[in-house]
Amino acid sequence: MRKVLVTAGASGIGKEIAAAFLSAGDSVYTCDINRTALDAAARELPGLRTGLCDVGDRKQIEAMMADAVSQLGGIDILVNNAGIAGPTAPVQDVDPDQWEAVLKIDLTGTFLITKAAIPHLIASGHGVIVIMSSAAGRFGYPNRSPYATVKWGLIGFMKTLSMELGEHNIRANAILSGAVDGARIQKSVKAGARLLAFR
């Protein structure tokens, strides 16, 4: 039985990842910013352990990691899924505060959680780190500069992790998914359509 931590697993891709690990017989803990969604996921997925956490807050990350390790008895696999979509706008119209918010959650949040998990992954002896990047991290997306930037950054972070942690028998990989139907992508598609309508 592997011990798995999935960030932002109360809904969407994260919940499906958590469900897949649970169905394989693994022990799974997921954190999310949405308590209502966490409670619903726990009811839907028996055995799922949960904790509230804003990955943009260092103290909350520290508390969540301690709780996850306590409940799981360690960590074998870390799935960095947490992230926000950010604004849909050309670069010259992007609000700097929105830019910084995307970097804080998607990039720095992933760094902080991974940093906190590394000692436990080393102790595992066969640790795995999965980072959810995006096709935007390979090709870029017009009108989505903050999102594309962090997804490229996550690939660089993953490559560095694989080089640093290989000696500890830790594997690091990134998944570059395309569009997945859900509330977030629908919001982005609608915002993009509005931009095109005003041209």
Q: What is the pLDDT of residue 183?
A: 56
Cβ count near 91 (within 10 Å)? 10
Split into its structural domains, the chain has a count of 1
Predicted model pTM? 0.89
Distance of CA 40 to the CA centre of its chain: 19
Q: What is the pLDDT of residue 177?
A: 87
Degrees, nearest 5: CA angle 128-119-171 = 20
The long-range contacts involving 47-54, CB below 8 angstroms and separated by at least 24 positions, are 47/22, 48/9, 48/18, 48/22, 50/10, 53/7
Q: Which of 21, 29, 147, 157 is catalytic?
A: 147
Separation of alpha carbons 109 and 114, rounded Å: 8
CATH for 121? 3.40.50.720
Q: What is the pLDDT of residue 131?
A: 98
Separation of alpha carbons 53 and 33, rounded Å: 5
Closest CA to 102 of 156, 144, 174, 150: 150
Question: Catalytic residue at 147?
Answer: yes
Per the structure, the complete domain to which residue 183 belongs is given by: 3-197
Question: Could you read off the pLDDT tens digit of each residue along the chain, which spans 199 residues?
Answer: 999 999 999 999 999 999 999 999 999 999 999 999 999 999 999 999 999 999 999 999 999 999 999 999 999 999 999 999 999 999 999 999 999 999 999 999 999 999 999 999 999 999 999 999 999 989 989 999 999 999 999 999 999 999 999 999 999 999 998 666 555 455 544 555 554 555 5
